[in-house]
Structure 1
Amino acid sequence: MADLPDYYFRVRENGAVVFRVDTENRQRRIEMDQIAVVHVKKGEIKPQGDRQLTDQDIETIQNWLTERTALLAQRDIDDIHRAVDYMNITTQWVQSNATDAQLEDVTDALLLAMHDLRSVLVRKKADRLMKANGD
């Protein structure tokens, strides 16, 4: 059997369920023992039940939490870059291919979303400029 990691992280919406992986049993079966739950945004590690986590457990979970946070941050910025691409593709579609009925269906929603986004971007840009100028 291939070497398996000592821990398995079942990713879920706000974090992960952490299992300790055991293959050192008589049947050489893979056993996964749930040891903790991790909440990424809060940075919380909650042991399962009355379990006491070892220093190795905590270190491994902390390392996963650090790596996961970095990965999610990278995905967020990638999503925004894709959104810019989608906006450009949408502009081209409106310019070249959209029918009147399709435009009627999406125009108001697009205009409101773009207005909202523009307002927030302008306000954030102004805040950054004021901060940079020491105001």
Structure 2
Amino acid sequence: MTSELPEYYYRIRENGAAVFRVDTENRQRRIEMEQIAVINMNKGEIKPHGDRDLSQMDQKEIKRWMAERKALLAMRDIDDIHRAVDYMNTTTQWAQSKASPEQLEEVTDSLLLAMHDLRTVLVRKKADRLTKG
């Protein structure tokens, strides 16, 4: 662990984060965290906590964090999709070589509906891209 703590701490929430200023410059040398803002990533909003006014440095740092977080979440989304392709492949192998008739009966309708829905969306989106391109 490094000896210097960051100036800000972000407590991740469902659609954003709570932002805290980290302070170790006190008499007891304890770590104190004071909430300064709440971030809504969906709306791109930064709301100061309580009656606080955020400095330009606070706002700049929070916006930098929001940009990094947005990029991280986008990277995770595409990684999840690549994993889904892997799961589809392993599911195919399982259905072909290991699944019992009872197991197949349990999942076939759900899988077929989900795959039909996915295929419909993918075909429509592909057609849209081809007609616009």
Quote the offset at 1:50 in angstroms: 1.0
Q: How does 1:80-95 map to 2 (within 5 A)?
A: 80-95=81-96
Q: Which residue of 2 aligns with 1:115?
A: 116
Q: How does 1:1-135 map to 2 (within 5 A)?
A: 2-132=3-133
Structural RMSD (CA): 0.8
Unaligned runs of 5+ in 1: none
Quote the offset at 1:40 in angstroms: 1.0
**Count of residue pairs brought into register by the alignment:** 132
Unaligned runs of 5+ in 2: none
Identity over aligned pairs, percent: 72
Question: Which portions of structure 1, spanning 4 or more consecutive aligned residues, are displaced by more than 2 angstroms?
Answer: none
Quote the offset at 1:38 in angstroms: 0.4
Other structure's SS at 1:37 match: strand
Quote the offset at 1:72 in angstroms: 0.2
Q: TM-score, normalised by structure 2?
A: 0.98
User: Matches of 1:40 and 1:70 in 2, distance apart?
Assistant: 12
